[in-house]
Amino acid sequence: GTNPAGHLFTVVADPGTGQPTFRQPIQGGPATAIQYDPLGRVLEATTDGTQPVKERQLACAGLPPELPPCSGPEKMARAVFQAGAPTRVEYLDALGRVVRSVGEGLDGFFVVQAEVAFNERGIKVSQYGPHRLGAEARYETRYGGLDALGRVGRREVERNAGMLASGQGAATLVTDY
């Protein structure tokens, strides 16, 4: 095929599933080969000149011990591995929503990059910023005053302890809409 800029590109798909097994976005450029498991999930993607990227999706009960365990509403974990790059793990709830993302730090310990909580209607009611796995001190944003359409009426943000020590501002920043 030809892209909008007039460059030739190549995509080869598996005739049985329709999923791409080979991509080359520009003629003569780097090519990517993709392998899938029997359920159609990506197992490995290898681009010319780079280390292969391996992906795994596992039930929480089957997580290997080197990965952080599931907690709370998490049912599945999706992990991405690549030589020379930190391991990344996304934890999913029963509906397939990402409720926590974890990445390996340079020191080898895992850091929670984002965490989200939903109410019984499936509306986001709080989220947490980055923090070391297992640490209690986290920045939290809570959403409240939700109307029938799920629109936020109030947002509360717990603030940085360093700002409080300097005497600047309240412990919680509140925004009413």
Q: Does 114 score more than 60 pLDDT? A: yes
- pTM score: 0.70
Q: What is the pLDDT of residue 20?
A: 95
On the CB side of 11, how many CA atoms lie within 13 Å of its CA?
9
How many percent of the chain have pLDDT more than 90? 34
Q: What is the pLDDT of residues 33-77, one digit of tens each?
A: 999 998 888 899 999 988 999 999 999 988 888 888 888 889 999
pLDDT tier, 159 (very low <50, low <70, confident <90, very high otherwise): low
Residues 29, 82, 28, CA angle at the centre, nearest 5°?
Answer: 5
